[in-house]
Structure 1
Amino acid sequence: MRRVRALLGAGLPTRGIAEVLDCVCGSEAEIEPCLGPLLVARLDAVDEKIQDLQGTRSSLAALVAATEGRRPATTDREPRAESRDPRAGKSGGSRSCARANMAPMTSLVRHMTIDCADAYALATFWAKALDSRVSDDDRPGDPEALVESAGAGLLFIQVPEGKTVKNRVHLDLQPQDRTRDEEVERLLGLGATLFEDHRNPDGTGWATLKDPEGNEFCVERSKAERAATA
């Protein structure tokens, strides 16, 4: 009887219930009149716990199914190919575009790549133009050089062929702490040349310049100048 009471007091796990029933059916057990109601009450409590666990399991299964439905399919998917990075092997953790623990998103511009004859010399010009700097990894004579900036970096790569036609893509610069005309004069002093002047008497318009290797770019009005004529 002491064994039966101990099992009842322990909360009647599944294994304990079997042992109690063995005691009840065995010839050695002497069951007090109150044991029957106690056993029924304990079994009812266990049944309620089992039902609660089953309900919880169903809820978790529904949540997992809903979550899996929002995720992109991962089966039969080819491994993501790494893009060709001419700067592989050089330190540059700050250049990474990885966004850990985020939902899928559209691509970001990492570098604006420009072919040129002298990567380091042209990168030096653009570093001064953007009030930035050439990467510490790059040296004069290197076949490539990176200018780090607040937006996408400018990556200059040395190629054997020279520039022959107008660029299909060019940069538009907007001065942040000076006027358009002041910026044009500053860039001319750094080695740029004026290619086409589209500035108007009323202050609107822009100027198209060329960098030391002939790549066209434009200088627009500052934000303050635009607000003044809005």
Structure 2
Amino acid sequence: MSAALSWKLVIDTRDAQPLADFWAAALGYEVEDPSALIAHLRSTGTLPEEAVGEHAGHAVFRGYAAVRHPEDPYDPFTGIGRGRRLLFQDVPEPKTVKNRLHIDVHAEPGGLDDLVARLETLGATRLHEVDKGPAGHWWVMHDPEGNEFCVA
């Protein structure tokens, strides 16, 4: 049997930094801090200034942000996670149709209503409730950029 592959989920965005903030808060993840890598690349002259922005007091790569699970390994120099990770990248075109891939967020037993309410305070919106009886009960929601996700 071969080892599990390393992976990340990449999500197209209009504004990567705020969406990374939303998903970090929603999932209990950490927003990656690439400021040490950016400082190094700036000092060597290999990173153009137009590629750098600032968010939450840190230097960031303009148009990119990532979040990682707080217990997973990461490279302390680059800030890049080596485990469960979401990468957000700005694209020029707007979202126009339903996602073909989405995230399911699971509540603690009996905690669905509380989790949905907490996600709404972070900027999510409810789309519709699905009740399949014994097969399941969940909410379809939008993140702040309109990407669908489910809360069960």
Identify the TM-score tier after normalising by the shorter chain.
0.5 to 0.7
- Letter of the 1:188 partner, please give it: E
1:105 aligns with 2:25: no
In the TM superposition, what are the counterparts of 1:86-165 in structure 2 within 5 Å?
Answer: 104-108=2-6, 110-137=7-34, 139-140=54-55, 142-149=62-69, 152-165=84-97
Q: Counterparts in 2 of 1:1-230, with a 5 A limit?
A: 104-108=2-6, 110-137=7-34, 139-140=54-55, 142-149=62-69, 152-176=84-108, 179-199=111-131, 204-220=136-152
Q: So what's the TM-score if we normalise by structure 1?
A: 0.46
Question: What is the RMSD computed on CA atoms of the aligned residues?
Answer: 2.5
Q: Name the amino acid aligned to 2:15.
A: D
Quick one: distance in 1 between partners of 2:137 and 2:29? 26
150-159 vs 189-198, greater mean Cα deviation: 150-159
Q: Which SS does the other structure have where 2:107 is aligned? A: coil
Counterpart CA distance in 2 for 1:106 and 1:126 is: 24
CA distance in 2, matches of 1:121, 1:146: 11
**What is the count of residue pairs matched by the alignment?**
117
Q: Name the SS of the counterpart of 1:194 in structure 2.
A: strand
Instruction: Give 5+ residue unaligned stretches, structure 2.
Output: 36-53, 72-82
SS in 1 for 2:140: strand
Higher relative contact order (CA 8 A, sep 6+): 2
Larger radius of gyration: 1
- Residue 120 of structure 1: SS of its match in structure 2? helix
Q: CA deviation at 1:215?
A: 0.3
Partner SS for 1:136: coil
Decide which structure has greater helix share: 1
TM-score by structure 2 length? 0.68
Residues 61-105 of structure 1, C-alpha deviation per residue, up to 9 Å, x if partnerless?
xxxxxxxxxxxxxxxxxxxxxxxxxxxxxxxxxxxxxxxxxx743
Structure 1 unaligned blocks of 5 or more: 1-102, 221-230
Name the CA distance, whole Å, in 2 between partners of 1:198 and 1:177. 17
Aligned residue identity for 1:134: V
Distance in 1 (CA, whole Å) between partners of 2:33 and 2:108 is 25
Q: Tell me the secondary structure at the aligned position of residue 160 of structure 1.
A: coil
